[in-house]
Structure 1
Amino acid sequence: MTAQQPTPGPPRRPLGARNPGDAWVVAPTGERYWGRFGAAGLLAVDPTRGVLLQHRVSWSHFGGTWALPGGARHEGESAHDAAVREAKEEAGVPHRDIRTRFMSVLDLGYWSYATVVADVTRSFEPVISDPESVELKWVPVDDVAAYPLHPGFEKAWGRLRSLVDVRPAVVVDAANVVGSVPDGWWRDRAGAASRLVRRIDRLASAGIAASALDMAEDRWFPEWSVVLEGEARGADAAPDGIGVVRASAGGDDAIAAEAHRLVASGHAVDVVTGDRELAARVTEAGARVRGARWLTDLLAD
């Protein structure tokens, strides 16, 4: 995280071309914040080892404290991309081995800091790859507060800690969603399903505003399962960003089974369907139900 107190100068950087984002932003009240275009950091969550923290070198601002790999955004760079890039540069975090779950943004108007929370999908060892770190360490979630934390991260940690175990997932009744729009889908059910899957993949990459999921923070990136049945099972192969379930029999049974599986694994599950009987089944399993209009509105944004 970035300081909220005046500092004598910018953090040291390796020699090379200077990024125009590497500059202080001065608040109306005099505090300085690092990152002309804002800043971002990555909170990597490993299911067995905890979260990845960076022990800051003594000459850095609030040196000796623990925080997240992160830094100034580049001009035109999204907060998400900046967090992933900085984590790679400072800790060797491989972007292919993490999956973004949500993003929390502190926006002061004149400066912002985004925390990207991502799940580790394949175990890796962090590597100190720039001079800003003394140590990189996986810290059990319940032990984080006992460390001498950077003041900015310490202030945010209580809120982030309450969300570390929240894992949203969305199960889509593709037949119901496709059938809710009279666009000729019945002439090519597999093609219509393919188009829906591609649109959901783009939505999955962009994330969903927290308000659409009735959740806190700024943006969430749920796990997606799209259930195909009948002729729609011939849809194109699924993109990497979402899961496609090709029901071998009835689509309702496959949707209910997927909802049961995700709820049992600790996910907060939303099932998108307009089928009342199916809605009752998945509600009993512990999932919430969203109508097809909820998803089509999100896809239209």
Structure 2
Amino acid sequence: MRIEPPATGEPPRPHGPRDPGDAWVISPSGEKYWGRFGAAGLLAVDPDRGVLLQHRAAWSHHGDTWGLPGGARHQHEGAEAAALRESAEEAGVPAGALHPRFMSVLDLQVWTYSTLMADVREPFEPVISDPESRELAWIPVEDVEALPLHPGFAASWQKLRPLLAVRPAVVVDAANVVGSVPDGWWKDRAGAAARLLEAMGSLASEGLSASVLSLPADRWYPEFLVVLEGRARGVGEAQVPAGIGVVRAEGDGDDAVAGAAARLADSGRSVTVVTSDKELAARSLAVGAAVLGSGEFRDLLRY
């Protein structure tokens, strides 16, 4: 698709089909926001290099400032998909190199901006691939505020920066979750555990509401660790979805859950243990973990 140079303050004009989301939203007080269906951006964080920022072209809205790669959401497009698409289009960000950690949404009633924060798992070099960028650079976290920032990003950065230190983990007492309903699990515990893992794979992709984990932001994509004991340990590796870790307890499953929770909490993680066992819940709370009941967790799984 060919791009024509834009007038000052306007986005580039493409020749070809244009998504209906590519339009301004005007608030009652006159402020302009790009994206009829809202907008989304990517906050990619590399543990060694910092955050990926875009030096915006002078013609753009609040031009010549630094902000996140991002743009208007397409019609019927989710915020995560939009953030990944826009960052690929504007900065050549490979989606497979990232692991989402949280989503934060600025809701202005007439318009929303969703920031997807993702950890870089495979280092990459950004590439300027459209006219919206003057420069793309990895900026150390402590240096971000020294740049001339886009006003919207400058305001959101005050809330986003402290969240970079939050790394949630969910430890699941599989025996307790599976045993919370009479679905025949006692006849085939490995099969019941496999069904639980399959449902958790979908949950890991969708993420959890921040309210479930008692954390700020809007949605989190925590690390999931499932403890299997007894015959449930027979679940095959091929039945474990991507993004789900498994501990096959050699001894007592409760000890394995409590031990995993303690190790994660000691490493600075924000830990939630899924169980309705009162003794295990007390042990989890004692090491600083939160507790989510098995029934509540099954409701989230929808299976």
Give the TM-score of the pair, scaled to structure 1.
0.92
Deviates more, 1:260-269 or 1:84-93: 260-269
Deviates more, 1:275-284 or 1:107-116: 275-284
Partner in structure 2 of residue 3 of structure 1: none
Offset, 1:15: 4.3
Q: Distance in 1 between matches of 2:157 and 2:301?
A: 32
Tell me if the contact between 1:97 and 1:123 (Cα under 8 Å) persists in the aligned partners: yes
SS at match of 1:162: helix
Equivalent in 271, 274, 279 of residue 272 of structure 1: 274
Tell me if the contact between 1:39 and 1:113 (Cα under 8 Å) persists in the aligned partners: yes
Query: Residue deviations 1:190-249, cap 9 Å, x none?
Result: 111011111111111111111111122211111111111111112242111221222233
Q: Distance in 2 between matches of 1:206 and 1:293?
A: 19
Tell me if the contact between 1:10 and 1:34 (Cα under 8 Å) persists in the aligned partners: no
Any residues of structure 2 matched to 1:56-135 within 5 Å, and which?
Answer: 56-135=56-135
Offset, 1:291: 2.1
Partner in structure 2 of residue 251 of structure 1: 253
Partner in structure 2 of residue 4 of structure 1: none
- CA RMSD in angstroms, aligned pairs only: 1.8
SS at match of 2:291: strand
Partner in structure 1 of residue 164 of structure 2: 164
Residue-pair matches, total: 295
Query: Percent of aligned pairs with the same residue?
Result: 64
Letter in 2 for 1:241: G
Q: Distance in 1 between matches of 2:13 and 2:179?
A: 55
Q: Distance in 2 between matches of 1:144 and 1:196?
A: 42
Tell me if the contact between 1:171 and 1:225 (Cα under 8 Å) persists in the aligned partners: yes
Structure 1 unaligned spans of 5+: 1-6
Distance 1:63 1:8, change over 3 A: closer
SS at match of 2:212: helix
Q: Does 1:217 align with 2:212?
A: no
Tell me if the contact between 2:9 and 2:63 (Cα under 8 Å) persists in the aligned partners: no
Structure 2 unaligned spans of 5+: 1-6
Distance 1:261 1:126, change over 3 A: farther
Distance 1:175 1:152, change over 3 A: same
SS at match of 1:48: coil
SS at match of 1:198: helix
SS at match of 2:59: coil
Tell me if the contact between 1:102 and 1:117 (Cα under 8 Å) persists in the aligned partners: yes
Q: Distance in 1 between matches of 2:151 and 2:267?
A: 34
SS at match of 1:261: helix
Offset, 1:109: 2.2
